[in-house]
Amino acid sequence: MTDMKDSDKAEIVAQMKIISQTIADGALTFLITEYAYCAAYMVVFSCILIHFTDWETTVSFVVGGITSILCGWIGMKIAVFTNVRTTHECWADLGKGFKVAIDGGCVMGLSLVSIGVLTLWLLIWAISSHSPLKYAKLYEAIAGYGLGGSSIALFGRVGGGIYTKAADVGADLSGKNDYGMDEDDFRNPACIADNVGDNVGDIAGMGADLFGSFAESTCAALVLAASSEDLRAHGWCAMMYPVLISSVGIIIGMLTLMLYGQLYKVTTSDPSSVEKALKGILNISTVLMTPTVVFLSLNCLPSSFQMVHDGPVVQWWFCCLSIMLGLWSGLLIGYVTEYYTSHSYTPVREIAETQKQSAATGIIYGLALGYLSCIVPVLALGVTILVAHSLCGMFGVALSALGMLGTMTMALTIDAYGPISDNAGGIAEMSGLPEHVRERTDCLDAAGNTTAAIGKGFAIGSAALVSLALFGAFTVRAEISDVDILDPWVFTGLLFGAMMPYAFAAWTMKSVGEAANDMVKECLSQFPDIMSGKAKPDYHRCIKISTDASLREMIKPGLLVICSPLVAGLGFGKNACAGLLSGALVSSVQLAISMSNSGGAWDNAKKYITGGGLGPSSLRDRRHTRTLSLATQWAIHSRTHQALH
């Protein structure tokens, strides 16, 4: 950086700003359009909801939906604000770039949980002040908050996911195969759409997804707590115990951010220090959260109580143990995810080794890796559910979900860190920065792929626990004492429910494939004029392809999830609905974990190979920086600047 003239530095910085703004504008356009669809859905569903329930539940639903939208919006804005700054700091030092990316991610993590907790507390206060509902009925109405959050999360995750993968696949296939370009070559019309997708899918979508899990788990725990006469008699602190767990998680997150920099130093000379620091953030937050949970449980709960009249006695430490089971299960899932998706370990390196022979064997290894990665997380979830339910019933399961999300501030921090680093690499490539800058951003990005998979693991694990808690609430309200699989309606529902995640996955994957094909066709139609210098790449046409496809294709999977329980329950009875929900819960956990980890492993195997993991011959040939003179590089910078205008 010091070898360049000030004028050259200024030109590159100006270029970086233009690229970053283009990415931000694309993400903003998509979110505005997507949230318009979500607003229409909220209006229609609110009309249905108020007809079947009451105004308190409907208001809670609307507030939950708006809060989910706000969380996704904030996450996206901070990500596009941070990505270019991460690139700039990596120009000087890897450690500085890492710190900026983490700082950007922590804004999302801390703000999402803070907004969620504050909004929920205000909602409880407002409804209790203007409604005669007390405790049990009040918290049943508050459950609409979780419904609103999870509904918007569904559309945000599906729409954003289709967008990002269609752009990613389209950008890779259109430039690499026919023209030998890198994925972020500025001449590729799909490269901006690819970077936009990282923000709308892995930032806004994941933020809304984890907010939905947080809202549902908190509301489920509140409803179950309010069903206990002993907890109601103990007072407000016992009623708000679930909210306090999430609230102290914010403080734990801030303490973690103060400590990790002292314990884990990220330096340019040691690229492996990036993964150590990210793992350290999870370790510190989990360790700090453990005594906090004990303190809260001891001071907020009665020494013993009953969840139901004449039911088993629950000790205060039963609740504490349930939370810690979820807390430490989450950390275990994170470690397993890291093992299967990080190129520091054998599974990903085995995939990379297979590429010496053929791509087909890499696909086989990747699928096998995903299936194997389900074993430990499912065992952890099974033990957590068994012990927590044995101690506290469904209340214990809901508390376990809250425990797993107790470190959500840090889980979201390292999850948002990934797309920020990925965008930083794209900006470095498109700006024509020296090779060492892209190497540093790739180091951050490779660790970011692992943390993104860890974030998905947290979301999947907590969603499984929350789903079981909500299913328990459903059986109570539907007066179902046992779900008997020998009942033909239950077994039929089980089969259909187990099939639904596969139908959901098939529709979304097909949508990605169709949009990616359209993207490739668009890019190939532009390449002849771009390569001859007759035209500039039209990034906006590719952005439009991904936007239109994602918004169009997210409707069918969304309707499947929302309408299938209604059709099963109203059309075939409560037993069929119970079977449907049970089958979907059991089937979706394994499918989600395997798909998430296979994808992360394949991506990091690619980065391991291009980073020289298989030897010097596997190092990628940067399109210009190693072969062209400095003067020629500045000419490329100039053309990039003109193309973006």
With 0-12 CB in 10 A as exposed, 13-18 as middle and 19+ as buried, what is 426? buried
Q: Residue 47: pLDDT above 80?
A: yes
How does the average pLDDT of the chain come out, rounded? 84
Element housing 280 (H / E): helix 273-300
Give start and end residues of each alpha helix (H) in 53-93. Answer: 55-92
* Tally of residues, the chain: 645
Higher pLDDT, 170 or 585: 585
Local confidence band at 133 (pLDDT 50, 70, 90 cut-offs) = low
- Range with lowest mean pLDDT among 20-29, 328-337, 452-461, 553-562: 452-461
Express each pLDDT in 520-533 by its tens digit. 888 888 888 888 88
The predicted model gives 322-344 an average pLDDT of: 89
Query: Which residues, 6+ apart, have CB-to-CB distance to 620 below 8 Å?
Result: 182, 610
Closest to 465 (Cα-Cα) out of 325, 308, 339: 325
C-alpha distances out from residue 494 to 135, 382, 468, 487, 530, Å: 34, 19, 15, 11, 54
pLDDT of residue 629: 34
Q: Give the single-character DSSP code of 617.
A: G
Please check whether residue 93 is in contact with residue 436, taking contact to mean a CB–CB distance below 8 angstroms.
no
pLDDT of residue 385: 93
311-326: b (≥16 Cβ within 10 Å) or e: eeebbbbbbbbbbbbb
With 0-12 CB in 10 A as exposed, 13-18 as middle and 19+ as buried, what is 2? exposed
Query: Which residues, 6+ apart, have CB-to-CB distance to 28 below 8 Å?
Result: 76
Interhelix angle 6-52/630-644, rounded to 10 degrees, is 40
pLDDT of residue 551: 83
pLDDT of residue 6: 67
pLDDT of residue 286: 92
Query: Which residues, 6+ apart, have CB-to-CB distance to 519 below 8 Å?
Result: 166, 167, 169, 170, 171, 174, 190, 193, 542, 545, 546
Local confidence band at 131 (pLDDT 50, 70, 90 cut-offs) = low
The predicted model gives 472-499 an average pLDDT of: 85
pLDDT of residue 628: 34
Higher pLDDT, 558 or 133: 558
The predicted model gives 324-352 an average pLDDT of: 89
Local confidence band at 370 (pLDDT 50, 70, 90 cut-offs) = very high
Which stretch, 30-34, 271-275, 582-586, 606-610, has highest mean pLDDT?
Answer: 582-586
Tokens of 200: 């709308």
- Range with lowest mean pLDDT among 89-103, 505-519, 614-628: 614-628
Strand partners, 562: none
Please check whether residue 341 is in contact with residue 600, taking contact to mean a CB–CB distance below 8 angstroms.
yes
Q: Looking at 134-189, which runs of residues are DSSP E strands?
A: none
> CA 117, 118, 124 angle in degrees (round to 5)?
90
- Range with lowest mean pLDDT among 314-318, 528-532, 612-616: 612-616
Write down the domain spans for the chain.
14-644
pLDDT of residue 183: 65
pLDDT of residue 388: 94
With tokens 């694309």, the residue in question is 26
The predicted model gives 28-52 an average pLDDT of: 88
The 10 Å Cβ neighbour count of residue 480 is 16
Q: Looking at 261-410, which runs of residues are DSSP E strands?
A: 304-306, 313-315
Q: Residue 72: pLDDT above 90?
A: no
Higher pLDDT, 508 or 644: 508
Local confidence band at 637 (pLDDT 50, 70, 90 cut-offs) = very low
φ/ψ of residue 363, rounded to 5: -65, -45
Cα–Cα distance between 369 and 377 in angstroms, integer? 14
Express each pLDDT in 353-362 by its tens digit. 988 888 889 8
> CA 120, 124, 125 angle in degrees (round to 5)?
115
The predicted model gives 394-398 an average pLDDT of: 90
Give pTM, 2 decimals. Answer: 0.85
Element housing 204 (H / E): none
